[in-house]
Amino acid sequence: MPRVKRGTKRRESRKKTLALAKGFFLTKSKLHRAAQEAVEKSLRYGYVGRKLKKRDFRALWIVRIGAGARLAGMSYSRFMDGLKKAGVTLNRKVLADMAYNDAPAFAAVAAQAKAALEAAGTPSPKAA
């Protein structure tokens, strides 16, 4: 069996790992073995973090929509039910942005949702 000297392949692989570990603490950015372990762990955390980010943003949007709906005199769930009955198909991201940056437009959408709820025969609890 012929002898294999890794040469450039090994060097390129290690340089790539150390480049990914740039900014890590002490030997984790200097020594290959420590850097390799740190990079593998950081890539795992990054994968999980991208999933958690979606969950966190959805929760933030719901809080913002709920706050806007409260200003319009409805709960979050009643507001979303009213939108569904009114046939408004705006997603939570857009609704949250409207509630945060464009209060008059959000109030108009809330009025539409409230009207749809009343037309469906489910008056809001505060009106009853």
Interval 76-118: pLDDT, tens: 999 999 999 999 999 999 999 999 999 999 999 999 999 999 9
Instruction: Note whether 38 and 57 are same-domain residues.
Output: no
pLDDT at 124: 58
Domain for residue 125, yes or no?
A: no
Instruction: Note whether 87 and 102 are same-domain residues.
Output: yes
How far apart, in whole angstroms, are the C-alpha atoms of residue 95 and residue 110?
10
Domain for residue 102, yes or no?
A: yes
pTM of the model: 0.77
Handedness of CA 50, 59, 94, 103 (dihedral sign): negative
Instruction: Note whether 62 and 114 are same-domain residues.
Output: yes
pLDDT at 86: 95
pLDDT at 83: 96
Which residues span the domain enclosing 109? 53-119
Domain for residue 17, yes or no?
A: yes
How far apart, in whole angstroms, are the C-alpha atoms of residue 75 and residue 97?
18
How many domains would you assign to the chain? 2
pLDDT at 128 over 50: no
Q: Which residue has the higher pLDDT, 126 or 18?
A: 18
pLDDT at 127 over 80: no
Domain for residue 127, yes or no?
A: no
Instruction: Note whether 63 and 113 are same-domain residues.
Output: yes
Instruction: Note whether 17 and 69 are same-domain residues.
Output: no
Instruction: Note whether 99 and 74 are same-domain residues.
Output: yes
Helix (H) / strand (E) containing 108:
helix 103-119
Instruction: Note whether 61 and 45 are same-domain residues.
Output: no
Domain for residue 3, yes or no?
A: no
pLDDT at 81: 96
Domain for residue 112, yes or no?
A: yes
Q: Which two tokens stand for residue 60?
A: 């933030």
pLDDT at 125: 63
Instruction: Note whether 114 and 91 are same-domain residues.
Output: yes
Mean pLDDT, residues 1-28 taken together: 92
- CATH classification of the domain holding 81: 1.10.1900.20
